Homo-oligomer: A and B are copies of this chain.
């Protein structure tokens, strides 16, 4: 009988490591211009073995995306806990702060941007919707805020992505200052 269930097998550990590498690499280059070989190299693995761990490139990207939204949800949950019992606006504010901390290294943020652009691949669009649903419902339930406030929360999150993608906090200009005003943007690494 083979060992079952008790300890994590080596291939499962590898799969996790590959997902970590995938987040970093896909965040940097996006879906279409990141070769599997780049992910493999970062995970210290041969490209061939990646295809043994994941059935194809898409499913690796989806796995990275799922993990990304899992981390986001976890951070939001922590933020909400920091303001437990306060009014909805305050709770959402704390959740936003927790999100800003999480994406300080930019990888999780850029992965979401790239995923949106690659959403013509159905599996990717599904993963994004799944993640966004989780985030939206979490924000609503944990804060108790109304629809409008939650909508605004997500909208400003998107604005935050735009600001970070374009480095607006470094490119001076009146217009850039207007867009970045009051947004808790990540310092670059």
Contact = CB atoms under 8 A, between A and B. Distances in A.
A155 B159 contact: yes
Contacts of A32: 30, 32-33
Interface footprint category on A: 35 or more
A150 interface: yes
B132 A175 contact: yes
Interface of A is mostly: helix
A53 interface: no
A168 to B, nearest CB: 8
Contacts of A171: 129
Work out how many copies of this chain go into the complex: 2
Given A132-B175, A158-B155, A165 B116 contact: yes
A147 B178 contact: yes
Nearest to A155: B159
A119 B165 contact: yes
Question: Closest 6 interchain pairs by CB?
Answer: A117-B117, A158-B158, A32-B32, A155-B159, A136-B175, A32-B33
Contacts of A174: 137
A148 interface: yes
A157 B5 CA distance: 48
Interface string A112-129: 011011111000010011
